[in-house]
Amino acid sequence: MENVVPPPGPETAPAAPQTLTCSQCATPVTIPAGETIARCPACGAHVGGGPGVRFGTGWRIAIAANVALMLVIGLALLIGLNWLANRYFFRRDATFSKKYTLSERTVKLLEHLATTKKKVQIYLIQAEMDGRTHQALQHTLQLLEEYQARCRDNVAYEPLDYTLADLKKVAELTKIPNIRELERNEVIFYCANNSKTKRIGFGELYEAPPSPMGGDDSEAREFKFKGDSALAAGIESVIDDTPTKVYYVTGHGEYGKDDWDIFGIAQFDKRLHSKENYESAELNLATKLNVPADASAVLIVRPRTPFAPNEMEALRKYLDGGGRALILLNPTPEIYEGDTPKIDDLIAYLESWGITVGKDVAAERDPEHTQRPVALGLNGQLIGESTGPMVFTVTEYGYHDITRPLQGVGTWFFAARSVSRMQQPPEGITVTELASTTANGLGMPENKAGEKVPISDCRPGPISVAACAEKGGTEPGAAKTRIVVIGDADGIGNEAHKGGAMSELAIASLRWLVNKEFLNTADPVVEDQPKLQTPVGKDRRVVLVFSVFLMPVMFLSLGAVVWFLRRK
């Protein structure tokens, strides 16, 4: 603590030394001639000063050095913080619903884009739009800022007004290959490295939930923003030099990609095009005899009649040569007739890959895994319905790249056949069970699936309902065969696909099959915005008493205490 604060005034100093007493410790302190202040040797307090105080040369140098040091430290901190901000990027999404938080899949995609050294230019062509479209545009622009912040050397975006103001720029875009004319309110992705383009409408950035009352009330309903997945799919489609094309095998009663009935897979195929950016076609091995060379994978969905020898040979040749296949099978009577399998060649071939397709139906006895949610009650409770033991949800997954996005997520199976790993797979083949029932599950004999079956006749759980096999690829450039078999084909049907069901497992399997397993990451859960609810009953009385009586009394009491303390 200093004893004297030098006031402003003319600079004067005594010509002879003077001795003063320290007010802190009563120690005599001698102030040299020409100085007006000194430090006490006992306690360190400043002694001296008064009207006309003048700091000596030593004090001036010390003060100047102190100020200079503070400036240097401040500048060093500023430079250090700027360096850290550029080297270690950090942004925080403060919205309640986390709608600007990038999914783990998108983060992986941007990291992959950075390694490719490609640059994606994104154009947002805007024109007159309604409130929903304008909201989608604003959310998209903020999301693209996040993309660019994470990958600024590889992602750039530019909003363009489809009016005279940007007419010249819009005309320049039409000179880009594959862009001959523009649509209003659309997003264009363009990669100059390979001249690939992708276009989506602003309407694809939002998803409207189904109306609970029916009819057209889209303006009154809240829309879910899905721009992250739509933009990521657009970027992925233009940086991929080789298109991903899957073939649906036909000719044996399989589901077709254009089937729109309840068990058809048109919705599944639509997702492959719109979100996964796959191309698809049908393949009849009876006429083609060989799997096309541009096939990234083949899909066999619910075959019900035998494969001809030449068809089986074409499939075997493709897979043995490093091909990829996703096979979805249903229980009998579609596969077995009595004790004879209708597709015995296919089942026997899967045995050679270490995968056993059982002649049974998986069932679940745990009630928590057979209660299917159907609605939310007025007070937020879950309303469910019992589905029976053969329609169940799986939460037990094997450790694999396919199941990474499914951890903690339930996958519904609709009367699934057991698909398991052989006790001793052939040498060089790695087989992994992907999904299974709980320990309370059972493998029911197939010919008794509709009857009451004694427990002694059933195989104890857990029962595996999906498995994958992998072989080869140990040498650089060597082809690696991958096969996924799932014991339920109805789970990706049009009706089941609306609720997710087993389609997520099938999509994750396809990503692994076509070497895009880096996209197998869980999307963030988007929470609903909080809504203000008016208190009723007892809650209303509590709010009334607290706000009208308790709060005023509390503040009055606090004011009285402060007044009393100040008076003292």
Mind listing the pLDDT tens digit for each residue in 32-71? 876 777 788 887 777 776 554 455 566 678 888 889 999 9
Q: pLDDT band for position 339 (50/70/90)?
A: very low
Residues in the chain: 568
CA dihedral 448, 454, 458, 464 (to 10 degrees): 80
Q: Could you tell me if 388 and 370 are in contact, meaning their C-beta atoms sit under 8 angstroms apart? A: yes
- Calculate the CA 151 to chain-centre distance: 17
Say if residue 333 is preceded by a cis peptide, omega within 30 of 0. Answer: yes
- Of residues 78 and 360, the one with the higher pLDDT is 78
Mean pLDDT of 407-434: 85
Angle separating helix axes 309-320 and 344-351, nearest 10 degrees: 20
Distance CA 312, CA 329 (A): 17
The pLDDT value recorded for residue 474 is 55
Mean pLDDT of 549-553: 85
Distance CA 520, CA 525 (A): 15
* Three-class SS state of 318: helix
Q: pLDDT band for position 223 (50/70/90)?
A: low
Q: pLDDT band for position 72 (50/70/90)?
A: very high
pLDDT score of 207 more than 70? no
**147-156, 349-358, 374-383, 396-405: which is most confident:** 349-358
- What sign does the dihedral 551-553-554-559 (CA atoms) show? positive
With tokens 């009998």, the residue in question is 332
- Of residues 280 and 95, the one with the higher pLDDT is 280
pLDDT score of 336 more than 50? no
pLDDT score of 513 more than 50? yes
Q: Could you tell me if 42 and 48 are in contact, meaning their C-beta atoms sit under 8 angstroms apart? A: no
Q: Could you tell me if 473 and 494 are in contact, meaning their C-beta atoms sit under 8 angstroms apart? A: no
With tokens 């992986």, the residue in question is 108
Least confidently predicted of 68-77, 108-117, 227-236, 457-466: 227-236
The pLDDT value recorded for residue 483 is 93
Tokens at 287, concatenated: 């006429």
Strand bridging mode 297-301 / 324-328: parallel
pLDDT score of 418 more than 50? yes
Secondary structure letter of residue 461 according to DSSP: S
Tokens at 338, concatenated: 């009595």
Mean pLDDT of 251-274: 80
The pLDDT value recorded for residue 299 is 92
Strand bridging mode 244-249 / 297-301: parallel
Mean pLDDT of 83-107: 71
Mean pLDDT of 92-118: 76
Angle separating helix axes 104-116 and 131-150, nearest 10 degrees: 50
Alpha helices in 321-376 (DSSP H): 344-351
Least confidently predicted of 204-208, 269-273, 296-300: 204-208
pLDDT score of 294 more than 80? yes
- What sign does the dihedral 114-191-238-232 (CA atoms) show? positive
Secondary structure letter of residue 547 according to DSSP: I
Q: Please, is 129 exposed, middle or buried when counting C-beta atoms within 10 Å of its C-beta (0-12, 13-18, 19+)?
A: middle
> How does the average pLDDT of the chain come out, rounded?
76
